[in-house]
A and B are shown apart, each in its own frame.
Chain A
Amino acid sequence: MPTDNLRAVDNTTAAGDTAAGPAVRSRADVRSLLREAMLSYRALFTWLNPLGYLSSRIVRPIGMAIAFTSLSTHYGAGAGRMLVGSSLLAGAGAVVYGMALSIGNERSFGTLGIWLASPQGKLRSACLRAVPHVVDGFVGGLCTYLVCCLLYGTMPVGLPLFAGLLALGVVTTFGFGLSLSALALVVEDLFVGPNTAELVLMVLSGTLVPRAKLPGFLQPVSDVMPLTHVMNVVGDELAGAPWATSQLWGELLVGVCWFAASSVLMYAAVRRAAFRTELG
């Protein structure tokens, strides 16, 4: 049975190559990549059950956003900046936790050794596994924003702009999250990495604490964190000032730099793990 299936796939591919050429093959490749991403999501994202998903990806960020937005309105700063920041943070948080779980759970399920031994690029595999979480983060962030806008009766930033900024934010957080995937290969406690990363993002990403209010030595660190440049755009928009496109390029650059650094980290973590006899 498995042999027949393999033969059928081979025939289809061969037919596709001759009939329609590389276009069909590339479509098949994309389908195969998406299937791999979805399979890893279903197998390794342990919060993928109705209660776990609702609780972790919907209720938690909304509760946090209510607490922080109320804090801002209480001290007279208005709901706008904190509402947008909390919603962006909700999206980033989903990416951070998802990417850490997508590698860390290989250890939890005892399959880390098999994954490391499999003949596939580990960086490519980690990136593919991030795809559903990036989409998930976008949905979660958007949901948090809409619910909080209803609760506070205001929409500080237009929906298309917010959606665009959120999309950029979750993509740049993907670069940062890749470092947590690598860390999950080194640190045995699965939640230490993402919990710490979430707290770091809360303080340093400009979402909850404006960059100008950070101590001087932390301000340059904030500049290299995901979401900081996105929040600069939000700040300008809320102030009614025209925002610079360079901020968006800056945010993208931060994401690319994090991706490059995380790739090196992933390479080193995979090499370290491959040489260890016990993966625990």
Chain B
Amino acid sequence: MSGLTTDRTGLEQPRLPGASTLLRSLADQLRMHASSPMAVFSALAMPCVFAFVVHSSASDRNATSDLAVGSAGVGMLDSIIVLVVISLLGEKQWKTLYAALGSPGGLVPVVLGRLAGTAVQSLTALPGTLVILALLFGVDGGFDWARWLAGGVLLAFSTASVVGLLGFAVLRYPYSAGMTNGLTGLVMALSALIVPQSALPGPVQKLALVLPQSHVMAWVRGGGTAEVLWAAALTVVFSGLVVLAVRRLENMARRQALPLEA
């Protein structure tokens, strides 16, 4: 398998035109932002403070798997938002989106690659917060390692799929300073990261069902397989929405000469 195919003109084309761009974009994300102090701060400091607050509310608790995943989820959310904004604004400033627009896969692989990169990068919050929680509170005897690992990874990717819509907004509209600050608070409350969904106030509970993270957390807290399936399905739906939104952006850039650099 060479990974290449021949088109009508006889020229060799990649079998999956966007795959290599997606991988390149993912690698670029990790190469450029993996050691960003702000991302590390978001991924580690904030979740540990939240874990401390949770622990003080339930003072007899050791670090259980849901506390570990939920706390890491706060860090993942914060760092993914910061990284998506920084990386996509960078693409706009460097005017690299025009080159992507002219490539076979268009903008979609670039954006998906960046999102996948931020999700991978945010995974540092999972072991990072666990180490600190273990040092502070000790690990609970009934710690479910499988749910911690699988739930944590699924949480990172589901969060990236939701924040992907923010990526579209950053690319489509001029950036307003501070516009993304509220997302951390809002999505954190809706994701049921530090408390079960049932503990949220009535109107917020219903909204939480729409986000895949709340289903991931329900599974980590002992829910059945249906919760994982819901989480996976909603992650796919949100990713699909991101793809559709970016495709629409491509059309606007091509047909209405929408600038991709402001």
Alpha-carbon distance between A196 and B176 when the two chains are bound, in angstroms? 23
Q: Which residues of B contact A132 (CB under 8 A)?
A: none
Alpha-carbon distance between A53 and B177 when the two chains are bound, in angstroms? 9
Which single residue of chain B is at the shortest CB-CB distance from A196?
B45
CB distance B182 to A55 under 8 Å?
A: yes
Q: A55-B178, A55-B182, A70-B195 are in contact. Are A63 and B201 (CB under 8 A)?
A: no
Segment of B47-55, B107-115, B242-250 in the binding face: B47-55
Which single residue of chain A is at the shortest CB-CB distance from B183?
A55
Q: A60-B184, A71-B53 are in contact. Are A51 and B179 (CB under 8 A)?
A: yes
CB distance B178 to A63 under 8 Å?
A: no
CB distance B200 to A70 under 8 Å?
A: yes
User: In the complex, which range does the number of interface residues on chain A fall in?
Assistant: 35 or more
Q: Which of B46-72 contact A (CB under 8 A)?
A: 46, 49, 52-54, 56-59
Q: Which residues of A contact B182 (CB under 8 A)?
A: 54-56, 58-60, 63
CB distance B195 to A67 under 8 Å?
A: yes
Q: Which residues of A contact B194 (CB under 8 A)?
A: 67, 71
Alpha-carbon distance between A74 and B53 when the two chains are bound, in angstroms? 13
Alpha-carbon distance between A51 and B169 when the two chains are bound, in angstroms? 12
Alpha-carbon distance between A49 and B178 when the two chains are bound, in angstroms? 8
A255 is an interface residue with CB less than 8 A from chain B: no
CB distance A46 to B178 under 8 Å?
A: yes
Count of B interface residues, CB-CB < 8 Å: 36
Q: Which of B37, B53, B176, B188 contacts A189 (CB 8 A)?
A: B37
A75 is an interface residue with CB less than 8 A from chain B: yes
> Interface on chain B toward A: helix, strand, loop, or mixed SS?
helix
CB distance B193 to A67 under 8 Å?
A: yes
How near does chain A come to B33, taking the closest CB pair, in angstroms? 15
A219 is an interface residue with CB less than 8 A from chain B: no
Q: Which residues of A contact B127 (CB under 8 A)?
A: none
CB distance A203 to B193 under 8 Å?
A: no
Q: A64-B188, A152-B201 are in contact. Are A47 and B178 (CB under 8 A)?
A: yes
Most buried by A among B41, B185, B200, B203: B185
Q: A61-B185, A70-B199 are in contact. Are A55 and B49 (CB under 8 A)?
A: no
By a beta-carbon cutoff of 8 Å, the part of chain B in contact with chain A is 37-38, 41, 45-46, 49, 52-54, 56-59, 176-189, 193-196, 199-201, 203-204
Q: List 26 A-B contacts (CB under 8 A).
A: A49-B178, A52-B177, A54-B182, A55-B180, A55-B182, A58-B182, A59-B185, A59-B186, A62-B186, A63-B182, A64-B185, A64-B189, A66-B204, A67-B194, A70-B195, A70-B201, A70-B204, A71-B54, A72-B57, A73-B199, A74-B57, A74-B199, A196-B45, A203-B53, A208-B53, A213-B59
Extra contacts besides A64-B189, A213-B59 (12): CB < 8 Å: A52-B181, A61-B185, A63-B186, A74-B195, A75-B57, A152-B201, A195-B45, A199-B49, A202-B53, A203-B49, A203-B53, A214-B56
